[in-house]
Chains A and B, each alone.
Chain A
């Protein structure tokens, strides 16, 4: 069964460093998302992406964040200058045309900012 994959599974970085989190959505999906989950808390929406554009972003998704679909398969989230409070699990999700709300999540990247 097709699934969303994410790399790396765990990223440790120093405060102020840039990180890029990578995702490969399900191949026939057209809608892509990033969510984050701080340890022990609920999942929070960051950004949605369709047709090479951001559709919606939350207040968490400030100027330090950016997303890109550099080729036909990858979808990336970049944090330019990480802060301690960026430590969280970051989940990529994707959904297909006609079933946009049925979002399938990847296994996540655990980001630890020291």
Chain B
């Protein structure tokens, strides 16, 4: 099946540092989304991207839809302890009109106060 390769798998950073994670695929996507999941909870939508090259911010979070439409990145600036969690990229394949999202494997973020 289709794969999204998300990296890094985990990060352990100091409070105040910036964080960057990305997702890549060999397939073309028409939508990229970034979710955050806390332990025992459902994924929470952070940012949705619809156009190649699109750069969108949500507070300290910034995400971009890659020009090739095969990748996306998420940046978190000035991290704080509540940023801890698992971040997932998700996307919908080009020409897929069913709403099916394909998820990456997740990036586990830990922030040291």
Contact = CB atoms under 8 A, between A and B. Distances in A.
B41 A45 contact: no
A35 B113 CA distance: 34
Given A55-B98, A56-B99, A102 B42 contact: no
A105 B46 CA distance: 12
Interface of A is mostly: strand
Interface stretch (B55-63, B67-75, B102-110): B102-110
B8 interface: no
B41 A48 contact: no
Given A42-B88, A42-B106, A105 B99 contact: no
A104 interface: yes
A101 B92 contact: yes
Q: Which of A58, A100, A103, A110 is the most central at the interface, judged by chain B CB atoms within 10 Å of its CB?
A: A103
Given A42-B88, A106-B42, A108-B41, A101 B101 contact: yes
A91 interface: yes
Interface of B: 31, 33, 35, 40-45, 48, 50, 88, 90, 92, 98-106
Interface of A: 4, 31, 33, 35, 41-45, 48, 50, 55-56, 58, 91, 95, 99-108, 110
